[in-house]
Amino acid sequence: MRVAVVGGTGDFGLALAERLVDARHDVVIGSRDGARAAAKAAEIGAAGTVNEDAVRDADLVVLAVKAEAALATAESLAGQLGDVPVLIVASELRFTKQGVFPGEEEWSIAERTQALLRAPVVAGLHSLAAASLATGKAEGDALVCGDHPGAKDVALELAGALVTGRALDAGPLASARALEGMTAVIVNLNKRYRAHAGVRITGLP
């Protein structure tokens, strides 16, 4: 599978890209700075270029930019993306003295991204941390949701290469609201217990 990781020079994007290279996927890292993308990609045996070129001919685009840049980045690439499935991994969080809370928007970032694109959008990997992926597969399961069956199947295949457990179908794209909120819970756990928590779903065949 040819996977474009937009925002692949960041901690999460680069760790994710490295795990996909390990799984023998054809990976290209995208960035606004093509030279930086090429340099980072060379560290892990991938290709690197500007975002617009990275998404060309991809089978799946992972939007791994920070939450505050996700919508603008998706909109800027709408013309190049066409019908290529897009996997959103971002979560909108509010950091306060009392703890970390989900964002205040009614709709998830994934749903708002879908409103901007013709391409099918799926959401997932919200329980995976850059620190966990940086050293190998993340412990636990990966959850993916979406409304387009074909796009979701591609994202589930990718997710399965990133975790020690299973890649699981978590339902329609509206479930991204819960998955993004779960990120706040995991961040609070990590801060409280100084760990890198993940998620494992029990009771499934």
SS3 15: helix
- Model confidence band, residue 156 (pLDDT cutoffs 50, 70, 90): very high
Give yes or no for a contact between 64 and 12, defined as CB atoms under 8 angstroms apart: yes
pLDDT at 37: 98
- Model confidence band, residue 201 (pLDDT cutoffs 50, 70, 90): very high
Average pLDDT rounded to a whole number, residues 45-53: 98
pLDDT at 105: 95
Give yes or no for a contact between 33 and 90, defined as CB atoms under 8 angstroms apart: no
167, 195, 185, 166: CA torsion to nearest 10: 10
Average pLDDT rounded to a whole number, residues 129-145: 96
Burial of 31-52, coded b for 16+ CB within 10 Å and e otherwise, reads: bbebeebbebbeebebbbbbbb
Is 0.85 topped by the overall pTM? yes
Average pLDDT rounded to a whole number, residues 172-198: 96
Crossing angle of helices 11-22 and 34-44, in 10° steps, is 40
- How many CA atoms lie within 13 Å of 136's alpha carbon, on the beta-carbon side? 4
15-25 per-position pLDDT tens digit: 999 999 999 99
- Model confidence band, residue 191 (pLDDT cutoffs 50, 70, 90): very high
pLDDT at 137: 97
Task: Name the residue among 10, 65, 70, 62 with its Cα closest to residue 41.
Answer: 10
66-122 per-position pLDDT tens digit: 999 999 999 999 999 999 999 999 999 999 999 999 999 999 999 999 999 999 999
- Residue 134's identity, in one-letter code, is A
pLDDT at 64: 97
CB atoms within 10 A of CB 99: 13
Give yes or no for a contact between 31 and 51, defined as CB atoms under 8 angstroms apart: yes
30-47 per-position pLDDT tens digit: 999 999 999 999 999 999
pLDDT at 158: 97
pLDDT at 176: 98
CB atoms within 10 A of CB 63: 29
